[in-house]
Amino acid sequence: MLRNYLKIALRNLKKYKIDSFISLSGLAIGLCCCIILIMYVRFEWSYDNFHTEKNSIYRLTEQTVNFRNNEVRHSTILPYPQSIALEEEFPEIKSLINISGGSAQFLKDGKYILEPIKFADPEFLSEFTFPLIFGDSKTALSNVDNIVITESAAKKYFGKTNAVGELMTIRLRDEPKDFMVSGIAKDVPANSSIQFNFLIPFENQISSAPAKEQKTLRESWYIGFLETWITLKEDATKEDLEAKFPAFLERHYGSNWVERDKIKYGLQPLSQVYFNENYRSGVTQSSNKTYSLILGSIAFVILLIAGINFMSLTLSRYTSRYHEIGIRKTVGAIRHQIKFQIIGEVFITCSFAIILGIVLAELLAPYSGVLFQKELDLSLLSDPVLWISVLGLLVILTLITSFYPAVKISGKNATSLFSDDKTAQKIPMLIKGLIVVQFGLAITLMIGTYVMQGQINFILNKDLGFNPENVVAVEINSELQNALKIGQLYSTEAERIPGVLSTSITAGKYRDYSEYGVVDIGMAQMRSVTTLSQLGDGIPSEAVDAQYLETMDIELLNGVNFSRQANSFPSDEIIVNQVFVDAMGWDNPIGQILEDKPENQGWVGPFDGKKVIGVIENYHFKSLYDPLQPMALQHIETVERNPGTILIRLSSDRMPETISNLKSLWNSIAGQEAFNLSFMDDMVQHQYNEEIRWNRIIRISSMASILLACFGLFGLSALVAQRRIKEIGIRKVFGASIKNILVLISKDFVLLVVCGFTISAPVAWYLSNQWLTGFSYKIDLDALPFLYGGLTVLLIALTTVSWQSVKAAFQNPVENLRNE
Amino acid sequence: MIKLRNIDRYIDKRLQRNFILKGIDLDIAEGDFVSIMGPSGAGKSTLLNIIGFLDDANEGEYYFLDEPVHSLNEKQKSEYHRSYIGFVFQAYHLIDELTVYENIEMPLLYRKVKGSQRKSMVADMLDRFNIVAKKDLFPNQLSGGQQQLVGVARALIGSPKLILADEPTGNLHSDQSKEIMETFKKLNKEDGVTIIQVTHSDEMASYGDRVINLQDGAVTENNPYEEE
């Protein structure tokens, strides 16, 4: 008996090749997409799970309120003395680990290579789970001259894994220093929010600074440059410790300060670090939880669409099998045997599709990195969650799909099955409903994709107030004694190269740490204890030269630029932006002199006595997540700062040649230093890497879901056309034109898509609005994405359906009628 | 064998009740070869379906082998159906996806006959109808007459006591029809199988030994030939 069912099932699959292929492969592809997407979502959610002590590790967070505009600021970048005080005053802290990020030059084959590094306290390796292959976790970082590197770094620098005992020559600042490799760590898992290849003891972060700055770094409560991580003793709780923070802050900052800035410290569990967007830092990676939720929902939607395909095709195939079931009844099949047959058949085809999907996912998983732009190790088949959910899916899909035909068909008596056979041409209501749901989902995704795309284009093309195109940044190691000389020589020489339009020396760093969600586009935060209360507690400032405005293409609104003649400028001139002027409430900014003397405190604010000589257009030196801030430009020679970057504006033609000329110029002037050149427009774009990456993932996934939906529509319209072939034949004999036939078949489906649109439009509108609220600068939601989304899907659907209708319409009616 | 008393079969349409069969009284003894005749729409097929348990009467009593069918449940009916009744249809009603062999075998599957026994029974049947060579063909590869032979073979495989044939020769030309009717006659005479057929043709009816005329859902003439 089972064999008989199996035979029938297989032969039916064979007979209805197109729609079996579609329902099977559709489900398989859908499942494959779903598995891969869910795996990725699980990967995102698995961040930092691998730490064995994950439940007792916390990151210290700081929250302040800008008293000027009540804007809440979140930070994890804290000053050094708080860590000393915390450790001394709270015995419940088991260990306290400071971590900071930076970069250093590593000597390899006679040349220095810039590598990102992490500074960390010795307990780092024993509290976090970053196992060492060679060396001792407890002592590896206890000597200041030690370095721990990862396996792959060891291979890169020494060509072998066991490099313990080897020396590495590193320049943290100006002077090279030898570090001894004391441990080789296993490569950091991709799902770790703390990433490193080179790890050196934290003390180096401070001791490598210039002597006069070291004291400030050690003692100032106002300069943040590190993240503090804490593990608690077993009997201590997070809440108890947090309750003691207000008193702690008052002791050290004084009550005035705490009250004004509403400073709060908090402890953030390790498990919340990755998804907390409020605390973006250059030390730890973070991501937006919303995106992984969106992706998870898309995965679910794709599965739903594939499931609906499978269901609607299977269901509509059953209506053409009334005849067979009728015969079975006349030869003595009873109701539950028919049910069993239907359920069994569905179960078999369904398992087949699911196995196919898993195989497909397993084959494609290694390539999924291309889509996600993250290397992740997806070990699918060993994952019990996969098997359990797939089993669940099999059962659910089988039950839902077979329940309706099983109950409905098995209940009919044989005679009505024979006579219904000829009337079962219309699509059943249930299937129509499913199609509406399917297209509703697809259109929602499509609209969402358009809105997202629009927002991202808006951000990428927004007028930033400066022109990042054709500007390159050449980095200078600002710790070099003669950095300013090198910079000036290089920039003068560079201007002679044809294709270079202008150059400018600035103190800021232009560096791309986009994998940490941070891109530095110049600017230093002068955290002043300013009395300029209108400006808040910090003013971003950049030390530049007179060519800065020209090179960056920033408009001077009012006043004058710095003088171009060397040594002819008074040291107290600044240029401010329009927001600065607005915040100060000046009607006449030019010539204003700032007063920045805090009461009762010994030191002078950085802007005290500065005179405003010019006002420039506001420009976005930070990403568009941040609103515009007041900022000031100072001349680099007046602030005794070394240059960090030479900005060069190039002409757009023959750029490769110009760049290679710039490189050879660099080698002749500063041969031992590595040549680091980056494009400003790339850096600007990289600020939104995370958004661009997610947009891509989401766009591709929604395309997949729409294609799947159309896949199903294709199968269904084929089925309908096939079933209405006699009707079409008769109509043609009696004079229907091909156009009439096309309309006849397509109009039902078009109506369903329109219904889907009506349902999805408000949903899409709500969701898009929700997403957009996260941006400071955003597009207005208008009808266009809705129009595009609806039309795209309608067009795709129409093409799909007409493929079948055209085929049916062009068939010779005589043939069709004879076949009946 | 069959006893129908005051059988009604109707369809309710809003305010009106359309009778397909009305007040049918009928007795058919074991070993009869009965032909039901009448114009289109007289209710011939409906009567046959009711007798064959494929359809239920709305009113009246039906005794099959003295068992009151009208009060049997589905399972019991199915039991009778399987062990006593074989069907032959005008449109053959073979399953397109199954071969000749598998079509004939199917009723045995529902009867849970063992594999080896099934094989010999099917082989027997193929032999009997001279279609051994065609056993691996699918229905659409056969002529109408051959398909109907398969249909008859399928009806007979469970060795039923009663064969119900709904215009078995309606789609066949005369030679094929004769072959089928000869087969029925032989079955009736040699194996004592009761046969009830619906037919339009006097020639086909003449193979039987009793004719029932139906008109507008009622029996108008019972056994017209016998009275001649």
Does the distance separating the beta carbons of B94 and A327 come in below 8 Å? yes
CA dist A543 and A644 (Å) reads 10
Stretch A401-425: mean pLDDT: 71
CATH code: domain B2-222 is: 3.40.50.300
Instruction: Evaluate whether A170 touches A128 at the Cβ level (below 8 Å).
Output: no
Q: Report pLDDT for A710.
A: 81
CA dist B85 and B107 (Å) reads 11
φ, ψ of residue A306 in degrees (nearest 5): -65, -40
Residue spans per domain, chain A: 1-45+287-424, 54-273
The alpha-helical segments, DSSP class H, found in A577-677 are 578-584, 655-669
Q: Report pLDDT for A600.
A: 53
CA dist A809 and A814 (Å) reads 12
How far, rounded to the nearest angstrom, does the alpha carbon of residue A365 sit from its chain's CA centroid?
Answer: 19
Residue partners of A440: CB distance under 8 A and separation at least 6 = A755, A756, A757, A759, A760, A763
Across chain A, mean pLDDT equals 83
| Closest residue in chain B to residue A12, using alpha carbons only | B97
Q: Measured between CB atoms, which of B54, B93, B111 is closest to A413?
A: B54
Residue A616, classed as helix, strand or coil, is strand
How many residues does this entry show for chain B? 228
Stretch A47-67: mean pLDDT: 88
Q: Which residues of A are less than 8 Å from B54 in CB distance?
A: 329-330, 413-415
Q: Measured between CB atoms, which of B82, B109, B158 is closest to A4?
A: B109
Confidence class for position A121, pLDDT limits 50, 70, 90:
very high
Q: Report pLDDT for A199.
A: 94
CA dist B108 and B12 (Å) reads 38
Q: Report pLDDT for A820.
A: 40
Does the distance separating the beta carbons of B102 and A324 come in below 8 Å? no
User: Over 50: is that where the pLDDT of A230 sits?
Assistant: yes
CA dist A794 and A789 (Å) reads 9
Q: Range with the lowest mean pLDDT among A517-531, A606-620, A707-721, B116-130? A: A517-531
Q: Which residues of B are less than 8 Å from A334 in CB distance?
A: 74-75, 78, 110
Confidence class for position A380, pLDDT limits 50, 70, 90:
low
Instruction: Evaluate whether A607 touches A594 at the Cβ level (below 8 Å).
Output: yes
Q: Please choose, from the candidates A791, A705, A758, the residue with its C-alpha nearest in 3D space to the C-alpha of residue A295.
A: A705
Does the distance separating the beta carbons of B106 and A4 come in below 8 Å? yes
Does the distance separating the beta carbons of B74 and A327 come in below 8 Å? no
How far, rounded to the nearest angstrom, does the alpha carbon of residue A352 sit from its chain's CA centroid?
Answer: 35
Q: Output the CA–CA distances (angstroms, integers) from residue A765 to A294, A372, A781, A794, A795, in the order listed.
A: 15, 27, 8, 18, 21
Residue partners of B16: CB distance under 8 A and separation at least 6 = none
Q: Output the CA–CA distances (angstroms, integers) from residue A522 to A20, A505, A552, in the order listed.
A: 60, 11, 12
Residue A564, classed as helix, strand or coil, is coil
Q: Any CB–CB contact under 8 A between B114 and chain A?
A: no
Pick from A327, A417, A418 the residue to mutate for testing the B interface (most B CBs within 10 Å): A327
Stretch A366-379: mean pLDDT: 73
DSSP annotation of A425 reads T
Q: Measured between CB atoms, which of B97, B102, B110 is closest to A331?
A: B110
Q: Please choose, from the candidates A543, A639, A192, the residue with its C-alpha nearest in 3D space to the C-alpha of residue A377.
A: A192
User: Over 80: is that where the pLDDT of A91 sits?
Assistant: yes
* Parallel/antiparallel/unpaired status of strands A198-201 and A132-134: unpaired
Q: Which helix (H) or strand (E) holds A796?
A: helix A784-810
Q: Which helix (H) or strand (E) holds A792?
A: helix A784-810
Region of residue A312 (left: phi > 0; alpha: psi -120 to 50; beta: else): alpha
Residue type, A206: I
- Please, what is the Cα angle at A659 between A657 and A661, to 5 degrees? 70
Residue A91, classed as helix, strand or coil, is coil
Q: Using H for helix, E for strand and C for coil, what is the string for chain B? A: CEEEEEEEEEEEECCEEEEEEEEEEEEECCCCEEEEECCCCCCHHHHHHHHCCCCCCCEEEEEECCEEHHHCCHHHHHHHHHHHEEEEECCCCCCCCCCHHHHHHHHHHHCCCCHHHHHHHHHHHHHHCCCHHHCCCCHHHCCHHHHHHHHHHHHHCCCCCEEEEECCCCCCCHHHHHHHHHHHHHHHHHHCCEEEEECCCHHHHCCCCEEEEEECCEEEEECHHHHC
Task: Please state the ipTM of this predicted complex.
Answer: 0.77
Stretch A124-151: mean pLDDT: 92
Torsion of CA A401, A402, A408, A414, to 10 degrees: 140
Q: Which residues of A are less than 8 Å from B82 in CB distance?
A: 331-332
Pick from A17, A331, A418, A422 the residue to mutate for testing the B interface (most B CBs within 10 Å): A331
Residue A275, classed as helix, strand or coil, is coil
CA dist A589 and A630 (Å) reads 14
Interface of A with B (CB under 8 A): 1, 4, 7-8, 11-12, 15, 323-324, 326-335, 337, 413-415, 418
Q: Report pLDDT for B197.
A: 92
Q: Any CB–CB contact under 8 A between B182 and chain A?
A: no
Residue spans per domain, chain B: 2-222
Q: Measured between CB atoms, which of B74, B93, B97 is closest to A335?
A: B74
More confident residue, A392 or A422: A392
Residue A573, classed as helix, strand or coil, is strand
CA dist A376 and B14 (Å) reads 67
Q: Please choose, from the candidates A641, A615, A637, A619, the residue with its C-alpha nearest in 3D space to the C-alpha of residue A628.
A: A619
Q: Output the CA–CA distances (angstroms, integers) from residue A268 to A79, A263, A447, in the order listed.
A: 17, 16, 36
CA dist A152 and A163 (Å) reads 11
Residue type, A209: A
Stretch A193-211: mean pLDDT: 89
Q: Any CB–CB contact under 8 A between B154 and chain A?
A: yes
Percentage above 70 pLDDT, chain A: 90
Q: Please choose, from the candidates A352, A316, A266, A287, the residue with its C-alpha nearest in 3D space to the C-alpha of residue A75.
A: A266
Would you call A292 exposed, middle or buried from its count of C-beta atoms within 10 A (0-12, 13-18, 19+)? buried
Instruction: Evaluate whether B12 touches B68 at the Cβ level (below 8 Å).
Output: no
Structure tokens of A758? 């009506």
Q: Range with the lowest mean pLDDT among A287-291, A479-483, A651-655? A: A479-483
Q: Report pLDDT for A741.
A: 79
Q: Range with the lowest mean pLDDT among A290-299, A311-320, A347-356? A: A311-320
Q: Report pLDDT for A379.
A: 65
Instruction: Evaluate whether A94 touches A57 at the Cβ level (below 8 Å).
Output: no
DSSP annotation of A555 reads -
Instruction: Evaluate whether A102 touches A111 at the Cβ level (below 8 Å).
Output: no
CA dist A103 and A121 (Å) reads 17
CA dist B141 and A57 (Å) reads 76
Residue A525, classed as helix, strand or coil, is strand
At A421-470, the pLDDT tens digits run: 554 556 677 778 888 888 888 888 888 888 988 888 888 888 888 888 89
User: Over 80: is that where the pLDDT of A764 sits?
Assistant: yes
Instruction: Evaluate whether A578 touches A465 at the Cβ level (below 8 Å).
Output: no
Structure tokens of A421? 């056979």
Per-residue pLDDT tens, chain B, 228 aa: give them: 889 998 888 888 777 888 888 888 888 989 899 999 988 888 888 888 888 888 888 888 999 888 888 788 877 877 888 888 888 888 888 888 889 998 898 888 878 888 899 999 999 999 988 889 999 999 888 888 889 889 989 988 888 899 999 888 888 888 888 888 988 998 899 888 999 999 888 888 888 888 888 888 788 766 655 443
Residue A164, classed as helix, strand or coil, is coil
Stretch A113-142: mean pLDDT: 91
At A596-641, the pLDDT tens digits run: 766 555 556 677 788 899 999 998 887 777 778 888 888 888 777 7
